[in-house]
Every structure is written in C-alpha cells, then in structure tokens.
A and B are shown apart, each in its own frame.
Chain A
Amino acid sequence: MPKMIPIMALMLFFLCLGCKKEPGKTQENLPTCLIVSSYHKEYAWQQGLEKGFRPVLKGKCASRYFYMDTKRNPAPEFCGQKALEAKALIESLKPAVVIASDDNASKYLVQPYYKDADLPFVFCGVNWSVKEYGYPYSNVTGMIEVVAIKPLITQAKRIVPGARRIACITSNTLTELKVALRVKEIYRAEGVKFTNLVATNMADFKRVYKQAQGYDYILFWGYVGIKDWDDAAAKDFIGKHSKKLTIGLNRWSYPYVMLVFNIVPEEQGRYAAEAALKILEGTKPADIPIIANHEWNIIMNEALLDIIKIKLPGDLRRKAKRVE
C-alpha cells in the first residue's frame, strides 16, 4: 500500500491540472456593453430585440441593461429624466459601447449628450427617418426600423390586382400619420388614389371603417391611438362589416385585420449587437453604414379572410403564420 501513495499522489496532481479553469476571458475582464432601451423589459418588441442581442453578445462582452420605460410614460419630462439617469450610468459604468434601442433613447440621450462624442453608440429600432436626430454622427451607426411597406404593397398588388383606390385608417398619432404619409407618396407615384381616414375614437372608427369598404382594399394600422377602443365591439363590428381585404403593419393588430406584414425585432437586435462587436474589434462606427432592416413576416387571420373569400398566393400562405 505505501508503494501506491506516490502513484496516487501523481494521479491526483494530474487530475488537479485537468480541473484547472481554462485560461480565457472571464466576465470580469470582458468589455462592458450597455444597452439603453427606450421601453420596458416586458414589452413584446423589447423582448424580441433582446432575443437578438443576447446570443451575439454572450461571452464577447458583459451586457448591462437600462430601461427608460417611455412606452408607459411618454411625457417628455419623464423621458428627459430617464435619459439623465442613463447618462449617469454611462459615466459611472464607462462602457466600451452603448446600444440605444428605439426612438426615445436616440432623441433624449444620444442626440443631446453624445453627438460626435468619443463613446461609440449603435442604435436600432429608430423609426424610418433618422434625420430628425441629426444622424449620422461620427460615433454612431445602427439599423433603422422601416415598416414592411414595400412587401405589403408588392403582395397587395398580387392579391388585389388592378387596385386604384386605397383607404387607410389611422389614429391621430404622429407615428401612424408619418407612415401613412410615406405610403401615400408611394401610391401617388404609381397613380393610385390614397385616402387617409382618421379615427380618434370608437365611433369614428366605425364610421370610417364602413366608409373604407368603398375602396379596393384597406390599410389599418391598429387601435393604439383610438380612444375608448372596445375590443369585443370592434371584433364584432369588423366581422359584420368587412367586404374588402384589410392589411396591417403591426403584429398586435392581427385580430382586426386579415393580413399583417410586420418586421422582426430579432433582426434589429442581432444586427445592433454584431455592429457593437465590430466596434469593440476596432472598427469605427462611421465605417459601418446605417442601414434598414431586411426581414419581414406575415400573419394571416384566416377567420377574417374567410369572410371575403379571398385566395392568397401559395408562397404567401406558406410563409404566413396563421392566427384565429
């Protein structure tokens, strides 16, 4: 037995060698990536973004999240206060790069405090025109959120060939009106008559929805800006009065429209995270062009589609997610 002791000791030594942690970057010595989100963590869009961020950043940088929560608190004073908190966090944390998701992070944090600063920023989810934030800056790149209008128009042409008069139902919110105006410009260039019908409350909605049935097809952006929206009453009304194809652009509008063309938050998150890593590798933000998203999905409300007995092309049916 005593002869075995040295042999066992040797084996133990080699086992210990095997147990030793592999050398590499630990969480402590990774650079810090701060993600400043305009919205709150539980918001569906935000969760999609984070699905994009996390796998890309994992093991490459230590991620910290700050939620401005401005979806639930849109008052400018609140947004400004949250931006100051984010700024204080940046100053204490000294991150290597900041990802600013959605408009308010750009509007209240990047534009006033970090224009052309040394700290690099990557934005994502900024609605369409970034010019109002003065982008591009030397220290900022990112991905613009362009709603899936192009595929919507292309596919609508296939579904309703020869359409010449389009109605669009919007609330009175700036975001919806901006998108509607852009769509109007496209249709106008193609010689298609575009009429915007504004609904600020439920009664308005019922009136304009009926009026819109006189057009070739209808775009409806959703109920968010419509006061006293009654979910059950709206579904009932739409079920009874729909004669034409209705199309939306927001994933949450699918109970009220037949087709939804929506963009994918994961793409925004993934691209922003990849850009952040490129910056950490030494690429200047200005050398990464600001671009728009590419991906889109389609959601098909089969129950509503059945009312108007319209047939979708096979490839769209295959791509579509079906909901009741």
Chain B
Amino acid sequence: MAQKEPLVSRETILALRMKRELLVTVLIGVIVTAALIAVTWNGVRQRGLKTLEYKYGLIKESVLQNINAGDAVAKSMQALFHSSVQVDADQFRIFSEEILSRYSFIRSTSYYPRVYSRERQAFEKEQRDWGFISYEIFEYNTNHEKKTAGARNKYFPVLFQYPFSPETASLFGYDILSSPGFFRSIAKTIESGEPVPSEPYKWKYGEGRGYKLFIAVYEGKNVPATRKERKEKASGVISLTIDPKSLFGKEDLPRDIVISLAVFPLPGKKGFTVFHSGDGKTVTKSALPLPDLALEYPIRVSQQRFHLSLAKGLFLSDINYRLLIISFVIGLTFCMGSFIIVRRGGKLKILAHKRKLAEEAMAESEKKFRGIFENAEEGIFQYSSGGRILTANPAFAKIFGYDSPEEIIETIADIKDFVHDRGASLDVYQKQLSEYNTVSGFEISLYKKNRDIIFTKINVHSVFDEAGELLYYEGILEDITQKKHVEELKREKEASEAANRAKSEFLANMSHDIRTPMNAILGFTELLESEINDNTQKRYLSSISASGKTLLNLINDILDLSRIEAGKLEPQLKPVNLHTVLGEIELMFSHRVTEKGLDLITDIDESLPRGLLLDEYRLKQVLINLIGNAVKFTAAGSISISVQYENPTGGTSAPDIIFLVRDTGIGIPEEQLDRIFKPFQQQQGQDSGTFGGTGLGLAITRRLVEMMGGEISVRSEQGRGSTFRTRLKEVQVTAVIPEHEDESDYHQYIVEFEENSVLVVDDIDYNRELVKEFLKEYNLTIIEANNGEHAVEQARRFMPGVILMDMKMPVMTGYEATEIIKQDESLINIPVVALTASAMTGDEDLSMEAGCNGFLRKPVSRGELVSELARFLPHSKKERAAVSKESGNGSVISFVPGSLSPEMKSRLPRLLERLETEFMGNWELVKKTMIFSGILDFAAEVMELGEEFRLEPLAEWGKKLREAAQGFDVERVRVRLGSFPGLVAAVRACLG
C-alpha cells in the first residue's frame, strides 16, 4: 500500500519548531535579564535616596537663600529711589558696587526711567546736552542691529548701569520695553510693585543664559497702595541681572547630580529653564534617564516662582555591573538571532514592495509626462522626414489656430507649408538639421491657419533607431510674437529716453552758454549804473538790465518746465507764514500797481495758522505769476488777492488753503479757457507786442500747483475780468512759526575785508574782468587763472585767501581742479567757491561733492559775491545805519536826556543798578562764550527789562540781538553784543 504524502513536509515542520524554540529561549533570556536589572536597580535606589536627600536639601537651601537675597536687594534698590530726591548715576554706582561685591549671583544692575512719547525728544536732548552726544532711545531689529525705537506710548530706556564700561556703554538708551521677553515682566512688576523675574535670555557673560529681576519704582516715597495708582505713578524700573548658576553658591556643583532650575515669570504661564547642569535639555521628571532618583522642589519668594529639579545619574560604581553584563550578553545573543531571522523575511517583503513601487512610479511618470505634453504652453511635435506631422500636443495646434492636434495632423501634408519665410531662413534650418541633427533656438516666421504671420522659436532634433536610421524629428515650438512686440516697444522707449536726455543736455548747455555772457552783461551794467550820472545813459542801462533779467527769467521758465516734465522738481517744504508772504508780495507789486493806477486789495483770514509746511519759493512763484498776469492784463480797476482755508476732513492739522486772485482786466473768452494752461499757448488775439510773454507762465504755474498737491482753475468773463482759484490740499500745520527775515546782509552792512587775495578762475576773460571790477574797492588782490590746471598752479604759488572757481572750463574743469586742491595738504584749507553758469538741479551737490565750500550761480551780483566772500575772508562789518548814528553821537543807542519824562528819570537809577549788577556779568558770559542758546536767553532778559522799565530802545536792542541770534548771524551778534556797554553808558550818561 502506497504511503500517503503528508500535507506539510517534515523539513518544514522541523523548521517551524526550531523557530518556536528560538523564540521561547529569547523570551526567557529577556525576562531573566530584566529581573536581574530590577533587583540591582532597587538596591541602588534605596541607598542613593538616603544619601541624596541630604545633598539635595543643601542645594535647595542655597538656592532659596540666594533667591530671597535677590528679592531683598531688589526691594532695597526700590527703597533707595523712593527715599532720594533724585538718584544720580554716581549714587546708583555706589549702591550697585556694594551689591555686586556681596552677591556673586548678581552680575549687573540697570535703571530705566519711564519716558512718555511726548517727553522723548526732551529726554534725548537732555542726555545729549549732558555729554552722551549720540544718545537716543533705540531698540534691536531681528538681526540684532540697533535702530531708533519706533513710536510707542512710553519707553523705558537704559539710563544708569553698573558695571559701567566701554562694553556696556553701547546699551545706554536701549528701550527695555522693546524686548518681548521682558515686556510682560515689566508690566507685572509695575502692577504689583514686587520683584518679578524675566524670561531667560542669552547674555554676554559667557555660555548659558541668565534672567533679569525687575522691580518698579514710583513717584513719591512709597509703593502706591492700589494697582491703578501703581500703574499711573510708575516712574521707572530697576533690573538686576541674575546668574542662575551662581544661585547655587560659590562652591563647584556636584558633578553626579543633574540640576535644573526653571523660572516662572508669570503666574499660570509656562516656565523656562534658566540653568541645567546636564546636557542643556529641560529636565522634567518623565524625561530623566532614571526617574526614580529625581526630586522636585517648587520655590516661591514674593512674586517669584521657581522650580528646582534634582536628579542623580546611574554610574557603574553604583551597581553590580558584572551581572548586568552577563544578562545583557544573553539578551543580546537572543535578540541578534531573532533579528537575523526577521531581517531575512523582511528583506524579501521589501523587495516585493520595491518592485510594486517601481511599477507605480513608472505609471505615475507616464501620467506626469502625459500631463506635461497635454498642458505645455509650448507646442510639442514630431514630424517625419517627408514633413508629415506625426504627433502634436494641443498647444501646437492652438499656436497655429487649429482646434485640436488631430485636425492639424490630418490637414497638413507637409510641415513646410507653415513656413512664411521660404528663402534663406528655411535653407539655414534644413542645413543645420541635416548637418548637426539638432537645431536650437531657431527663430522663424510661420503662417497660421488663417494666414496670419507669427514669430516662433524652434528647438528640434533628429531621432534615430538602433541601426542609425532616421525615424522622425521631434521638437518644441514657442510663439514669440508677443515678445517681439515688447522688444520693439522697449527699443522705441529707449530711443525716446535718449532723445529726452539729449534734450536735457541741450537745455543745460543752452542755459550755461546764455548765462555766461549774461553774467558779463548784467554785471557790467550794475557797475556802470553806479558810475554814470547822465540820465539818458542811465535809462539805456536800465533797459539793458531789464532786458537781461527778462531773458534770464525766460531761461529759468524753460528750465523749470523741463524739470517739471522730467519729474525732477520736488516741493521743498519748510514752515511758512502766509501772512508774511502776502505782505511781501503786496510790497513787491505796490509800485507797479500804483504806476498803472490800480487798486491792490489783499485779504487773508486772520485765523489762518501762522506756521504751514509749504514750498515758499514755488508758492511765491505761483502767486507772482498770477498777480503779474493780473497786473499785466488789467488797465483799470482793481486786483484782489484773498487767502482762505477749509478743513474738508473736519480736522485742524491739514487744512486746504485757497488762494483767489481776481482782476478787472480784459478777461478770457470761454472757448480759450482750456488752452491757457498749456505750454507755449497764449490767448488768441493776445497782442504779444503789447503784453509780451512766452506763454509759459501759466503752464508752469499749473504744474507747480500740481507738484505741491493742489489744483488751479479759472473763471473769466471777457471784458469783465478773471478769477484764478488755487487750492493747495491738506497743507500740514506746524508749531514752528518762521520769523520774518531781515533785508540782506550786504545792504545792511558795509563789509571791510582785511588785506587778502582772491584767485579768480574762469576761461572767459570778461567774466574775470567783472569780478575784478566788483572787488576793486576792497582791500583784496586779484590773481587770475583761465583753466583748472592753471588754477592749481596759481593756488600753489600764491596761496590765496579764497578761490572763485568756474566749473566748466577747457583743459581741466573746475570739479577736477577743486578735487586736486582739496587733496593737497598745503591747499586743503583754502576755501573754494563754485561760480558757475550752469543752472541744472544737482550742480550745487556736484560742486560740494568735489570739495567746494560755497556756491554762486551766474549771473552774480556784487552783493551776492561780497556776502559769499565775507563767509570766508577776515573782515569787519559796520551797520550802515549804525555808522551814521555813531558818527552823530558816538553811541549805538542814543537816549536824549531831555526827552525822558520825570517818571522815567526817577526809574533810571534802579535800571542802571540792575544793568550793572545783574546784566553786565551775564553779558560777559554770553559775549565770551558766544553760545547761542545763552545769547537768546540774554536777549529775552534785556527785552523783559526794557518792557519792565518801559524803555523802548532797550527792548529794541534785545529784539535785534534775538533776531541776529535766531539767524545764526555771528557777526551781527558780535557787533550787537559789543554795543551793550555803550548802552549801559548811555543810561549812565542820562543820570549825569
């Protein structure tokens, strides 16, 4: 009888049994090892805990004691501030020095006063005035770079700190409130009045982190009772920088105990590890390697909460390691055996899995490339050597205007049918393809289905079979028609910009070339006017001068228009008083208006703020243009100017300012109202012979108004007159009220130069001649040079007191010559004044960059030239008015004794006493120091004295001194201060 074949072979059963036995053996080994470790561990733990409890207790006591000490120190510093009138840096230093010498865990102390944003400027200025010359409240950005502190309601900047060294000095002004890690702790200490720790931070005292202990100080002598009062009366914050490691005492920490200290700045919020003696990770009970040896101690002192964790690590010396090694070897053997078995099985599974993944990836790749093919914006195609399209994607069909790839494949018999340029381009394409089997970036124009022409870029290569036989061509085609258009536009734009640059250069050159002879024309005219007495000749000269100035105005108008159109003109805002401006304009036109028999009426809203941020020069230009036109076109009647303001948004800080210029002149026809603001357009029928003008005035006016953020409009009735309405929008009001400036220095003073020399550098002979003539009355020797190179030679030879330098010259320009002079140590101190006919924006900056110390623009008047030279050459000044007075009675201020009332005379002895006792000493203070803030104070004191004694000349003297000091006019201040003893002498003289 044949034996029945078993269902499972014997080998298989044996193999299974062996596996089971192996598994049982591994399990037994693991259990025995675990039991041995557990017994050993329990013994160690019991012994460890007993000895550690004592050690732990010592550590905890040390920390607790130091945290208590820190709390007490913080409160004693708070008490110092509450008990002193005003703690200064030295008191803070002495106190801090004492603290740091006693408590090694306190590394530094700082004090941060509270500064409200409204007090910030004054606070910063005070610190700068007291020697911290660059003091400002600052914060750090995310890259830890300093930046000016942003706007906040209040700041707590560093004012005192100890230790005080060059290293810590850079922290002065740091706003501690800008640090998010400190912000909440500061708020908490202010609310509670108690010491509050901060989050830890990485500090400069080496590795690890520290934390700050903040405590608030308040106005008054005590911590206010309620939370609300504490928030209101907080005057500053003190911080102690705590070294957490030193909280554990001066002794070295036990190496076998893992110590971790966490601080909880705010109740109920998360804590931060400030010290860890192990690997730097946060220690918690569950995270310890051997949790059985860890103990935790919560610590609370006032508002300070800490958490101390102590843990003992397991070391070989603590355990019977031989047994553990045996257990470990057994377990390891079993584990390795099991591992090998599982690994083999696993490898097979992995192989299967990898195969599956590869198949899936291939499918995915196919899907992806299909997606690329279908969705690509470029056309993808294949065509046979006969030109038949084999494959095309939808983009290819779309580029040629077909609905689908199928349509294009079926319709097109030969791909060459697309080609628009069948000449040279096609030949080149075919030749390249046949020679190199690839064509890259080939641009060619093709026909679309509707015979429109498109520009394309093609990349094609040949595809061969394994035997090297050509199968087909395949490639990518891109429609670059749009790109071509953009390139075309760009080329046109560049051409246009080049034309504009050429225009600007032309204008600059034209302006320069006209101004150069104008300098001589106007300059020599000015000289002749002072030398000729014949009235007819004087009239002729006036005509030359007026014509020259008109020509100059025309050039300026053209340049302005050019600058506006180029966007190079920007408003230069500064405080302007419109009440003063209107007064000046009224004065300017009063003569012309009177000559024509017109009335000039000005009306300004008295409540209009005195300080407005405006571009005064351009605003005046607008008003002068409008009023000038009004005067020009009005034969009879009146011209009125009114200034009003409106607050469209309801606020008071940025009103709209409205200027109305009305006249009763010839008016403008309605159909021409639009064109008057266009350049070079004048009212039709306007007789330019009668009225003159270039037609640029109103065009510039409108652009200037728009540049200042405003709008201009006109209403007019022919024969009745016109009204121009200018509205400047949202003009900022400023608290700074500009003072009215005095008339120019030159006209107010006679300048007498000390003996000196001036080097005049100009390539045009008559321009040098003009300067010589202007300066011939002065005690100055004129040296000449006709180009930059010559100028440098002459400067080295004669060492002049000042150099007047034309900037545009042959051989070597003024810029180059100035640079050479300023690099030469022997010449560096000679001031160089640029004297140039160029009038383009930026010329002054260029001159200053080259090293010039002053700047004058041609045509230059004698007054401008002398005033500029007076900036650099030693001279004395005499007030024209004062000179005449001095010659009259020998005193700058004169009192006529006979004109004083008996009451006034009776007050004079008291006045004299005060002048001689209080004022002479203070006068010597300011006269010798020449510190302008002191001079302003002194001027105010003299004015007050004059008003108190109702002595007008005295008050007037103070007023004049104040005006000179406000204008930083050193010479005028010096002259006026010098006359004070004369003033006192005059009072004395009145008393006989």
List the interface of chain A (C-beta within 8 A of B): 128, 130-131, 135-136, 141, 144, 146, 150-151, 154, 157-158, 168, 170, 172, 174, 177-178, 180-181, 184-185, 188, 194-198, 211, 271, 274-275, 278, 283, 287-296, 319
Contact = CB atoms under 8 A, between A and B. Distances in A.
Interface in B64-107: 85-86, 88-90, 93-94
Contact of A151 (B88, B922, B937): B88
Nearest to A293: B131
A87 to B, nearest CB: 13
15 contacts: A151-B88, A158-B85, A177-B924, A177-B928, A181-B926, A181-B931, A188-B937, A195-B917, A196-B925, A289-B132, A290-B133, A291-B132, A291-B172, A295-B89, A296-B88
Contacts of B924: 172, 177, 196, 198
Given A172-B924, A181-B934, A294-B90, A144 B166 contact: no
Nearest to A155: B85
Contacts of B165: 271, 274
Contacts of B172: 289, 291
Given A295-B90, A295-B93, 4 more contacts: A146-B130, A158-B85, A196-B924, A271-B166
B166 A290 contact: no
B133 A198 contact: no
Contact of A135 (B133, B921, B922): B133
Contacts of B929: 174, 177-178, 181
A1 to B, nearest CB: 49
A211 B917 contact: yes
A158 B91 CA distance: 15
Interface of B: 85-86, 88-90, 93-94, 130-135, 160, 164-167, 169-170, 172, 917-918, 920-922, 924-926, 928-929, 931, 933-934, 937
Given A211-B917, A295-B90, A174 B130 contact: no
Contacts of A181: 925-926, 929, 931, 934
Main secondary structure of the interface of A (DSSP, over half): mixed
B169 A291 contact: yes
A185 B170 CA distance: 29
Contacts of B917: 195, 197, 211
Interface centre among B85, B166, B925 (most CB of A within 10 A): B166
Contacts, number: 105
Contacts of B132: 289-292
A116 to B, nearest CB: 13
A288 B131 contact: no
B86 A195 contact: no
A174 B130 CA distance: 19
A236 to B, nearest CB: 25
Contacts of A198: 920-921, 924
Interface centre among A151, A188, A196 (most CB of B within 10 A): A196
Main secondary structure of the interface of B (DSSP, over half): helix
Interface centre among B172, B920, B925 (most CB of A within 10 A): B925
Interface centre among A136, A154, A177 (most CB of B within 10 A): A177
A97 to B, nearest CB: 12
A221 B922 CA distance: 15
B131 A185 contact: no
B928 A154 contact: no
Nearest to A296: B90
A154 B131 contact: no
A211 B913 CA distance: 12
Contacts of B169: 288-289, 291
B684 to A, nearest CB: 62
B108 to A, nearest CB: 14
A275 B933 CA distance: 33
A81 B933 CA distance: 34
A185 B166 contact: no
Q: Which 5 A-B pairs have the closest CB atoms?
A: A292-B131, A196-B921, A294-B89, A275-B166, A144-B131
B166 A154 contact: no
A291 B931 contact: no
Contacts of B918: 195
B170 A157 contact: no
A274 B89 CA distance: 19
A278 B166 contact: yes
A291 B164 CA distance: 11
Nearest to A143: B131
A181 B170 CA distance: 30
Nearest to B919: A195
A157 B85 contact: yes
A100 to B, nearest CB: 16
A185 B164 contact: no
Nearest to B133: A290
Given A146-B130, A151-B90, A154-B85, A185 B933 contact: yes
B834 to A, nearest CB: 23
A154 B88 contact: yes
Contacts of B133: 130-131, 135-136, 144, 290
Given A185-B933, A278-B166, A289 B88 contact: no
Contacts of A157: 85
Contacts of B167: 274, 278
B925 A146 contact: no
Contacts of A195: 917-918, 921-922
B925 A289 contact: no
A181 B133 CA distance: 19
Contacts of A290: 131-134
Contacts of A275: 166
A259 to B, nearest CB: 15
A14 B172 CA distance: 54
Nearest to A186: B129
A287 B89 CA distance: 22
Contacts of B89: 294-295
A33 B133 CA distance: 25
Contacts of B88: 150-151, 154, 296
A16 to B, nearest CB: 35
A19 B438 CA distance: 83
A283 B924 CA distance: 44
Contact of B134 (A136, A151, A172, A197): A136
A294 B928 contact: no
A319 B921 CA distance: 34
Contacts of B131: 128, 144, 146, 290-293
B90 A174 contact: no
Contacts of A188: 937
Contacts of A295: 89-90, 93
A294 B89 CA distance: 5
Contacts of A178: 929, 931
A154 B88 CA distance: 9
Given A275-B166, A289-B134, A289-B172, A180 B925 contact: yes
Contacts of A319: 94
A247 to B, nearest CB: 16
Contact of A185 (B90, B135, B920, B934): B934
Contacts of B170: 287-289
B93 to A, nearest CB: 6
A130 B130 CA distance: 11
Contacts of A197: 917, 921
Nearest to B924: A198
Contact of A196 (B86, B93, B134, B922): B922
B925 A184 contact: yes
Contacts of A296: 88, 90
Nearest to B927: A177
A152 to B, nearest CB: 10
Nearest to A313: B85
Contacts of A177: 924-925, 928-929
Given A195-B918, A196-B925, A154 B931 contact: no
A151 B135 CA distance: 20
A273 to B, nearest CB: 10
A288 B164 CA distance: 13
A292 B922 CA distance: 27
B89 to A, nearest CB: 4
